[in-house]
């Protein structure tokens, strides 16, 4: 009860504070805030006094705050004290912990991948290790969030894990000393094709621009680079200033890269390059996809608007909103959307219209009729309202439902664990392939296991049956229905062969990662990367490259889906 009384006292203190502040602002908005704070404080007091069960004021308050912010936009979030470290990681790329990816598999948390050279790696933890206990407490049934918060902690402290490893009879203990874990913004940089530089950029945390500049200069040292490829695929963004400084490597000092416009005058700012450029002439291709967002879009879009790079891939996510993190009481914070950003042509690439909510509570895309045309530095036409539309559009790779089921149900992951146990080493990442014998071994491994999945055709057939039943037509079509269902099931038995290349690709990436970590995974993926091939060809074809940037090849107007449901991604800002 003392704890509850403390929360009530806190609420009253906050209300009193707002009463004092807002009394000086006798406007309708201030009165509404004051009135509703008073209602809230009385409501939680009555709940505490009369509700049939004990309440937790802290949890109720957080639920109310999160529901309130959910009515605004997806990026305005409440950050309780317990999650502050997670948000620090977004901006700094650093945290205290054991340095390992984990995932939930059934009732247990499993090690997905120890970071190379991390405490978990040095202690001998391996992908596939199941965590049975953490610091003597049972981990079974614990959520990903529960275990993750315990594994993280101040550098120099220890955590004790009880591990069950596939193929070993008895569980064993590991005592791991936490360290400050730094996730590199650039997991790989190298030469591709004939003297073309390639840099994979996965984040825009502190020092991203410095890291990319160093990687670029290292590639130039001793190599007569014919071009540069910057890979932003899957990069959900980060710090705005890092995007500006990376663009600065390739454009003149004093060039505006992005401006922000908000309700408050102090949010209206221009962000221009401040340093001498490194290379103003080298051909640049930027690779993007549907998950390239926020700072990635600032970088790709500004280089496109300034006709400094060819953008290649799929239309980007479309996040044109700027967030600030503001401190709240008791070490809590709020990440709040304060402005929209605009790239050099003047366009905002925000794709979702959060200002106009639908009747069902969802948000729609910017309608095609409201999309406007803008001009690049060389006079090329580009468009707003839906992310960055690439200069060279490629088709995203689509995986079959079978491949996704095998991956999503961890059969690919578990087979890789078995494979590593039976094979102490493999060939280098750039030469390793899934042979027919390995593939057949995987087929034997999943035999009898439940990897059931439904195709779109099966779902459509089920919908037809349900509609026919409601309208009393099913008896008339039952024979044809049964025939189609049987044919589909027979065809699905051939899917393992039909989609063998996709399954091999997933197996290859998972297995290579076990031996060569993230760097090896990237190297292996680049070997058969059609978009990398297109990027290299674009740089090598001088006429095509200059033609795109001069406007000789006209960029098509983007086809933007209307449904907000297409936005399954939730990029990190």
Q: What is the set of active-site residues? A: 294, 305, 319
Q: What is the DSSP string of 378-434?
A: TS-EEE-SSSPPPSEE-PPP---HHHHHHHHTTHHHHHHHHHHHH-S--S-TTT---
Q: What backbone phi and psi angles, to 5 degrees, belong to 329? A: -65, 155
Terminal alpha carbon distance of the chain: 40
Helix-helix angle 240-248:208-220, to 10 degrees: 20
Q: Are 154 and 162 in contact (CB under 8 A)?
A: no
Q: What backbone phi and psi angles, to 5 degrees, belong to 116? A: -60, 125
User: What distance in Å separates the CA atoms of residue 283 and residue 168, rounded to the nearest whole number?
Assistant: 53
Name which of 523, 504, 505 is nearest 515 in CA terms: 523
User: What distance in Å separates the CA atoms of residue 422 and residue 434, rounded to the nearest whole number?
Assistant: 15
User: What distance in Å separates the CA atoms of residue 115 and residue 107, rounded to the nearest whole number?
Assistant: 24
User: What distance in Å separates the CA atoms of residue 18 and residue 15, rounded to the nearest whole number?
Assistant: 5
Name which of 237, 376, 250, 359 is nearest 305 in CA terms: 376
Name which of 58, 90, 26 is nearest 329 in CA terms: 58
DSSP three-state, residue 116:
coil
Q: Are 501 and 510 in contact (CB under 8 A)?
A: no
């Amino acid at each position: 009860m003392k704890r509850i009384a403390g929360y009530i006292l806190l609420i009253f203190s906050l209300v009193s504070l707002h009463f004092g502040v807002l009394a000086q602002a006798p406007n309708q908005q201030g009165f509404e805030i004051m009135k509703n704070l008073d209602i809230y404080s009385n409501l939680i007091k009555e709940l505490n006094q009369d509700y049939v069960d004990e309440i937790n004021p802290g949890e109720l308050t957080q639920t109310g705050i999160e529901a309130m912010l959910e009515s605004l936009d997806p990026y305005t979030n409440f950050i309780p004290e317990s999650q502050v470290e997670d948000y620090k990681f977004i901006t700094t790329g650093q945290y205290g912990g054991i340095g390992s990816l984990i995932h939930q598999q059934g009732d247990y948390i499993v090690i997905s991948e120890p970071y190379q050279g991390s405490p978990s790696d040095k202690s001998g933890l391996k992908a596939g290790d199941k965590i049975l206990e953490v610091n003597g407490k049972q981990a079974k049934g614990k959520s990903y969030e529960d275990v993750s918060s315990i594994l993280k902690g101040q550098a120099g402290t220890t955590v004790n894990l009880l591990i069950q490893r596939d193929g070993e009879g008895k569980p064993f203990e590991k005592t791991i000393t936490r360290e400050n874990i730094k996730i590199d913004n650039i997991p790989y940089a190298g030469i591709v094709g004939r003297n073309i530089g390639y840099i994979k950029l996965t984040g825009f945390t502190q020092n991203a621009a410095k890291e990319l500049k160093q990687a670029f200069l290292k590639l130039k040292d001793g190599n007569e680079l014919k071009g540069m490829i910057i890979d932003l695929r899957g990069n959900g963004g980060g710090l705005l200033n890092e995007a500006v400084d990376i663009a600065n490597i390739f454009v003149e000092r004093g060039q505006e890269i992005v401006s922000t416009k908000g309700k408050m005058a102090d949010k209206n700012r221009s962000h221009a390059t401040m340093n001498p450029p490194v290379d103003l002439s080298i051909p640049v291709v930027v690779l993007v996809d549907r998950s390239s967002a926020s700072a990635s879009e600032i970088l790709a879009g500004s280089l496109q608007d300034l006709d400094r790079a060819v953008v290649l891939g799929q239309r980007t996510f479309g996040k044109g909103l700027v967030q600030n993190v503001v401190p709240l009481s008791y070490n809590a914070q709020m990440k709040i959307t304060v402005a929209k950003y605009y790239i050099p042509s003047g366009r905002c690439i925000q794709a979702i219209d959060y200002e106009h909510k639908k009747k069902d509570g969802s948000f729609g895309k910017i309608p095609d009729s409201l999309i406007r045309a803008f001009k690049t530095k060389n006079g090329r036409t580009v468009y707003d309202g839906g992310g960055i539309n690439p200069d060279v559009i490629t088709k995203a790779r689509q995986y079959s439902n079978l491949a996704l089921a095998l991956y999503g149900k961890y059969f690919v992951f578990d087979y890789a664990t078995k494979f590593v146990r039976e094979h102490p080493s493999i060939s280098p990442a750039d030469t390793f392939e899934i042979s027919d014998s390995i593939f057949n071994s995987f087929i034997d491994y999943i035999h009898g296991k439940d990897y059931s999945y439904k195709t779109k055709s099966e779902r459509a057939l089920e919908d037809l049956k349900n509609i026919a039943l409601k309208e009393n037509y099913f008896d008339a079509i039952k024979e044809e229905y049964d025939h189609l269902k049987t044919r589909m099931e027979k065809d699905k038995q051939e899917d393992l062969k039909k989609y063998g290349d996709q399954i091999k690709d997933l197996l290859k990436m998972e297995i290579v990662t076990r031996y060569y970590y993230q760097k090896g995974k990237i190297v292996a993926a680049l070997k058969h990367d059609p978009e990398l091939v297109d990027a290299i060809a674009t740089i090598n074809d001088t006429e095509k490259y200059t033609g795109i940037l001069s406007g000789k090849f006209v960029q098509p107007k983007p086809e933007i889906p209307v449904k907000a449901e297409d936005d399954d991604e939730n990029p990190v800002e």
